[in-house]
Structure 1
Amino acid sequence: MRNVFKVTLIAVGLLFAGQVSRAQSKIGYVDFQGLIGQMPEAKAIKPQIDAYQKQFVDQLTAMNNELQTKGKAYQDQGKTMTDAVRATKQTELQDLQKRMQDYQTDAQQKVEAKSNELVKPLADKATAAVKEVAKAKNIAYVIDSSRGNPLLVSGPADDLTADVKAKLGIK
Structure 2
Amino acid sequence: MKNIRGLLALLLLTVASGAQAQKFGWVDSEFIMAKMPEYAKAQVELNTFSDTWQKEIEAQKKDLEKLYRNYAAEEVVLTEPMKKKRQDEILQKEQDIKAYQNKQFGYEGQLFKKRQELNKPVQDKVFEACEKVAKKKQLAVIFDKSGDLTMLYTNPAHDYTEFVLEELGLGAEDRNQPGPKGVVKTVAPPKTPVDANFETDSGTPEPAPAGKPVRPTKKNSTKKSLK
Q: Aligned to 2:99, what secondary structure does the other structure show?
A: helix
Gaps of 5+ in 1: 1-18
Instruction: For residue 26 of structure 1, report the CA deviation from its aligned partner.
Output: 2.4
The aligned residue for residue 91 of structure 2 is: 94
Instruction: For residue 25 of structure 1, report the CA deviation from its aligned partner.
Output: 2.9
Q: Aligned to 1:41, what secondary structure does the other structure show?
A: helix
Instruction: For residue 90 of structure 1, report the CA deviation from its aligned partner.
Output: 1.2
Q: Residues 1-171 of structure 1 correspond to what in structure 2 (within 5 A)?
A: 22=19, 24-108=21-105, 109-170=109-170, 171=172
- How big is each residue's C-alpha offset from its partner over 1:22-81, in whole Å with a ceiling of 9 and x where there is no partner? 254322111112211211212222221122223212221221110010011111222322
- How big is each residue's C-alpha offset from its partner over 1:65-108, in whole Å with a ceiling of 9 and x where there is no partner? 10010011111222322222112111111111111111011112
Provide the rounded CA distance (Å) in 2 between the counterparts of 1:112 and 1:38: 22
Distance 1:68 1:156, change over 3 A: same
Q: Percent identity?
A: 25
Q: Which amino acid aligns with 2:152?
A: L
Distance 1:20 1:55, change over 3 A: closer
- How big is each residue's C-alpha offset from its partner over 1:90-135, in whole Å with a ceiling of 9 and x where there is no partner? 1111111111111011112112211211111010001000111111
Instruction: For residue 154 of structure 1, report the CA deviation from its aligned partner.
Output: 2.8
- How big is each residue's C-alpha offset from its partner over 1:134-154, in whole Å with a ceiling of 9 and x where there is no partner? 111111111111125442233
The aligned residue for residue 204 of structure 2 is: none
Q: Normalized per residue, which structure has more helix?
A: 1
Provide the rounded CA distance (Å) in 1 between the counterparts of 2:23 and 2:78: 76
Tell me whether 158-167 or 145-154 shows the greater mean CA deviation: 145-154
Of structures 1 and 2, the larger Rg is shown by: 2
Instruction: For residue 21 of structure 1, report the CA deviation from its aligned partner.
Output: 8.1
Q: Aligned to 1:88, what secondary structure does the other structure show?
A: helix
Gaps of 5+ in 2: 1-15, 173-227
Provide the rounded CA distance (Å) in 2 between the counterparts of 1:62 and 1:20: 64
